[in-house]
Amino acid sequence: MNDFTALLDYDWMRAIHVIAVLALMAGLLMLPRFYAYQTGSEPGGELERKMIEASKKLNAIILTPALALTWIFGLATSAASNWIQFQMGWMHAKLALVVILTGLYAYYVAEGARLAKGERRRSEKFWRMMNEVPFLIAIAVVILAVVEPF
């Protein structure tokens, strides 16, 4: 194995990919919960200020880097195996769901910017429900990636 192929080792790429997925899911599950607390808090109060700060930090330190690394190392895993997965149905279904997860991330970030300005367009209940959506999508993604049913 030369230095280049060592860098692109399939198992290492896949391991880093799954670690990035863990951090991504932690972020996607925590952020709506912060938004729920923020939406339920007194406008201009201490809790609102703390939740705005926590949401910004979570996004900058965990969520955005984890999403980027999930994509980079997911694609690197496939590159290390000659893109073989892209010829399979489960991978197309997985990618479609991952694009939805990525869209959800963009939606969260946009809503977070509005919430930081004090614009509460959604209810606390809405954000509590949104808490479950990424988890349900992730269950389907993991089943597709591990079981490879079609």
CA distance 82 to 98: 21
Per-position x/- string for 78-97, each x denoting binding to ligand HEM as judged by CB under 6 A, each - no binding: x--x---x------------
Tokens of 79: 């590159």
Burial of 137 (0-12, 13-18, 19+ CB in 10 A): middle
Tell whether residue 19 is a contact of ligand HEM (CB under 6 A).
Answer: no
Q: How far apart are CA 150 and CA 146, in angstroms?
A: 11
Q: Is 17 in the site for ligand HEM (CB under 6 A)?
A: yes
Q: Determine the interface stretch with ligand HEM among 17-25, 39-47, 103-111, 117-125 (rule: CB under 6 A).
A: 17-25
**Nearer Cβ to ligand HEM (47/79):** 79
Are 47 and 41 in contact, with CB atoms under 8 Å apart? yes
Residue with Cβ nearer ligand HEM (54 or 137): 137
Q: How far apart are CA 9 and CA 49, in angstroms?
A: 45
Contact flag: residue 27 with ligand HEM (CB under 6 A):
no
Chain residues in the site for ligand HEM (CB under 6 A): 14, 17-18, 21, 70-71, 74-75, 77-78, 81, 85, 98, 101, 138, 141-142, 145-146
